Amino acid sequence: REFAGRPIQLPMVDVHTVGAGGGSIAWRDRGGALRVGPRSAGADPGPACYGAGGTEPTVTDANLLLGYLDPEGGLAGGVALDPAAAARAIGALAESLDLDPLATAAGIRAVANQEMVRALRVITVERGIDPRRFDLLPFGGAGPLHAIDVAAELGIARVICPRPGGVLSALGLVCAERRRDTTRTVMLGGRELTATAIADAVATTIAGLDRDPAATLEAIYELRYAGQAFELPIGAPLEPDPAALVAAFAAEHERRYGYRGDDRAVELVNIRVASREPLADFELPVGGGAEPRRSTRTAHLPAGPEPVAVLAGEPRPGFAAAGPCVFELAETTFLVPAGWRATVDRHGSIVATREEGR
């Protein structure tokens, strides 16, 4: 697999990265086109509006200038926003593009949205998967600001902003199953590919694995036909029957590549043993929240400037609101445009659905 364009040889979740986030820098290419990312201002100095020394325009600066973020409020961690700094950064880019600052900010947002749409198409449409069958779950500080625009582009009718959206990755790390992997190269083929040789290699691999006594073990065998430069991973018992292992490899090879080489020698190249530790006991809280604090501010939506309802604080379960509105949460901001309706579920997550006929 690849991660951020780099090949990863370790087992990993299927992740497709995209260079479009809150800190992604907007710029003009040699042809005069507006681009966003992959360079990022990061957290330090961060977007120009953080007031920490950043001078290049970012997606966050665009969202602030468009009115999607509170110019008088702050972000999680006590970060105060500087609208004037955002305006200066975007103004300089706007001048180079011969556009006004608001049009440039809208363009930055549109380009960032399309980068996200492209990434989602890679992992759905280009794999024969219809994205309309799924819900979209955004996370991070900026994801929910763009999620419904992205969903609408792909025909997705429901977007779920999780209650801990700003720290969802950290929550997942705490709650996820612990897994440790160790891999050993064995190169067994022909007459050497025996049950005894495999069992000895598995035992040696397990001996080098630092694991919890309560953990369960599983083995992955990486096999290939002699002369091939790649292997296929095959899951099998810790003490597999060699003939069954070869048969499983041949079947998987045929499934992936359309043929099997029953007359070719098979080589066992690597053995990987995974230790899976029990899941941590946790339960998402139910209830909590309150009636949001209501206010209004002007946001520059695609149809033009419009008063938008601002709903601040963690909303109670059952609370509902129709777009256009902005939910200002502790760690993220969720934009719900016109034509969508948001309802808070029992765990405090905000579920936005597209209204009929939209």
35 and 107, same domain (yes or no): yes
Report the mean per-residue pLDDT for the chain: 90
pLDDT digits (tens, 9 = 90+) for 38-51: 899 988 889 999 98
Q: What pLDDT does 212 receive?
A: 79
Average pLDDT over residues 16-43: 89
Q: Give, in order, the Cα–Cα distances in Å from 20 to each of 17, 90, 154, 352.
A: 9, 17, 17, 22
Instruction: Give which of 110, 116, 58, 57 is closest to 88, Cα–Cα.
Output: 57
pLDDT above 70 (res 18): yes
CA-closest candidate to residue 56, choices 78, 72, 74, 37: 37
| DSSP helix/strand/coil, 57 | coil
* Average confidence (pLDDT) over 229-247: 93
Q: Is the pLDDT of residue 77 over 90?
A: no
Q: Considering only CA atoms, which of 145, 142, 138 is closest in space to residue 168?
A: 138
Of the three residues 277, 307, 324, the one that is the final residue of a domain is 277
| 75 in the same domain as 42 | yes
- Residues 270, 158 within the same domain: no
Question: Nearest Cα to 269, choosing from 237, 238, 242, 231?
Answer: 231
Measured between its terminal Cα atoms, the distance across the chain in Å is: 38
Which of 277, 309, 336 is the endpoint of a domain? 277
pLDDT of 180 over the 90 cut = no
Print the domain residue range for 167: 145-171+285-354
Q: Provide the pLDDT for residue 296.
A: 94
Instruction: Give a yes or no: residue 230 inside a domain.
Output: yes
> What is the domain-level CATH number for residue 248?
3.30.1490
Same domain, yes or no: 350 and 236 = no
Q: Is the pLDDT of residue 130 over 90?
A: yes
Whether 9 and 124 share a structural domain: yes
Q: Checking DSSP bridges between strand 340-344 and strand 320-322, what pairing results, if any?
A: antiparallel
Mark whether 160 and 295 lie in a shared domain: yes
Number of compact structural domains in the chain: 3
> What's the pLDDT band for 80 if we cut at 50, 70, 90?
confident
One domain for residues 165 and 255? no
Q: Rounded mean pLDDT of 261-267?
A: 91
- 176 in a domain, yes or no? no
Query: 229 in a domain, yes or no?
Result: yes
Query: Would you say residue 13 lies in a domain?
Result: yes
Is there a single domain that holds both residue 150 and residue 81? no
Q: 115 lies in a domain?
A: yes
Rounded to an integer, what distance in angstroms lies between the CA atom of residue 117 and that of residue 151? Answer: 8
With bands split at pLDDT 50, 70 and 90, how would you rate the model's confidence at 252?
very high
DSSP 336-355: E-TTEEEEE-TTS-EEEEEP
With cut-offs at 50, 70 and 90, classify the pLDDT of residue 357.
Answer: low
Q: 329: which 2 tokens?
A: 């949460």
Q: Does 211 share its domain with 122?
A: no
Residues 163, 289, single domain; the answer is yes
Residues 56 and 205 in one domain: no
- 186 and 233 share a domain? yes
> What is the pLDDT, as a whole number, of residue 210?
79
For residues 222 and 135, what is the distance between their CA atoms, to the nearest angstrom? 35
Find the mean pLDDT for residues 121-145. Answer: 93
Q: Is the pLDDT of residue 348 over 80?
A: yes
Q: What is the mean pLDDT of residues 298-323?
A: 92
Question: Rounded mean pLDDT of 154-172?
Answer: 91
Q: Is residue 134 part of a domain?
A: no
Residue 50 belongs to a domain: yes
- Give the residue-averaged pLDDT of 289-296: 90
